[in-house]
Amino acid sequence: MLVSRGRNPSAGEVITQLLLNAELRGRVLTTLTLLLLIRLGIYIPLPGIDREAFKSFIEQGGQLLGFLDIFTGGGISTLGIFALGILPFINASIIIQLLTAALPQLEDLQKNEGEAGRRKIAQITRYVALGWGLAQSIVFALVLRNYAIESLSESTFVVQTALALVTGSMVVMWLSEIITEKGIGQGASLVIFLNIVATLPKALSSTIEKAQTGDRTDVVGIIVLLMVFLITIVGIIFVQEGARRIPIVSAKRQIGGTALLPNRQSYLPLKLNAGGVMPIIFASALIFLPITIANITKNPLLIKAASALNPGASNPWPYALTFFALILGFAYFYASLTINPIDISANLKRGGVAIPGVRPGSATANYLSSVQNRLTLLGGLFLGSVAIIPAAVERATNVQTFQGLGATSLLILVGVAIDTAKQVQTYVISQRYEGLVRQ
């Protein structure tokens, strides 16, 4: 097959590689199989619970429980052993990354210990996920004991239910890591992607039913909301793909005694949204931590304060402003983890490469830092707007069929789809160049 080395692979080339390349085909099949196992685990029921009574409780729980149910793929409402899903691992990742920025020991492991250090951090994250998952499982089991139907003591029911939930969460974490290592895409993000996609048919059918049975106002509200979602998707794609290309040039180099290599000009790309989909995923998980802590401690003051962060509260502004601030903060946090201006400046200087009009060394680092800060501000403001504006439109139009499935879910869907597609394209390009080398 003849291909061009200077362009991205076409859809036909990707499909051809899927059909002919055994390794790529195996990675895709591994990913799909493990995602199917994760999905099936949601429907393995927890024993001894009155599901109809708990379903009524979920329906009265409002937007908060609906939002959490989407991120677990319906695991909370179905009461499967995978009810917690990947959420404990996501929360553990938040904690470890925050500690990495605060503790020099963890920072040294991440930056200076190479692959061994990253493996140690991954192992620490697993232990934190186990502890956090156990805490969440106990809280969930304490809630479920009110709907127990078997003649077990409360302590026995809580222990066996918590063990089942935390075990299921650890299995999901393990399967997601296998997807990252031996499949296609980032495992944790794909699990969340799958959970959101699994709720789409129900939301769409409810919306169609509302359009058929509702009045003209409902139809207009649905059309407005769908238009906002489409505009949001287009904006997400532009921001995810947007980058500032900073020109860089290398000095002329002398070869032997006479010949000189010409100046080589290329670009240093700085992404508009360096953190990708992770800031909004982590902000979505972190915003519910106060509610979890309040439920654990049973402190009335904490419960009252945490209730203000409920997205279904009568006054949505505390939730909206807190969510916006978290997204913006995580955008800067991830940008600082992804790009280190000092390291980039040192590498450019070491390679004899410079930015036109900027002196090498600290001046280059300051320039890159200022550019990255401006880009991160724009990207963070966009992410925060995307997370809030469609939810406000949903409340204004009174269209609640997409309850919990807002712009946050759209951003995750589009972001994960783009990242996974890029990984497939990267693999196809690597196979293309391997073929050229063999020729």
Q: What is the pLDDT of residues 77-119, one digit of tens each?
A: 778 888 888 888 888 887 887 787 777 887 777 777 777 888 8
Q: Shortest CA distance to 121 belongs to which of 151, 147, 101?
A: 101
Domains 10-202 and 215-405 share a fold: yes
> Mean of the pLDDT values across residues 216-225?
76
**E strands of 212-263, at which residues?**
243-250, 253-255, 259-261
**What pairing do the DSSP bridges indicate for beta strands 243-250 and 353-354?**
antiparallel
Please give the C-alpha separations between residue 128 and each of 2, 134, 313, in angstroms, as whole numbers: 50, 10, 31
pLDDT at 4: 41
Provide the residue ranges of all domains of the chain, joining segments of one domain with +: 10-202, 215-405
Whether residue 428 is predicted with pLDDT greater than 50 in this model: the reply is: yes
pLDDT at 1: 36
Write out the DSSP string of 149-164. Answer: -S---HHHHHHHHHHH
pLDDT tens across 386-400, in order? 777 777 777 777 666
Q: Is the pTM of this model over 0.85?
A: no
- State the fold for domain 10-202: Preprotein translocase SecY subunit (1.10.3370)
DSSP 406: S
CATH of domain 215-405: 1.10.3370.10
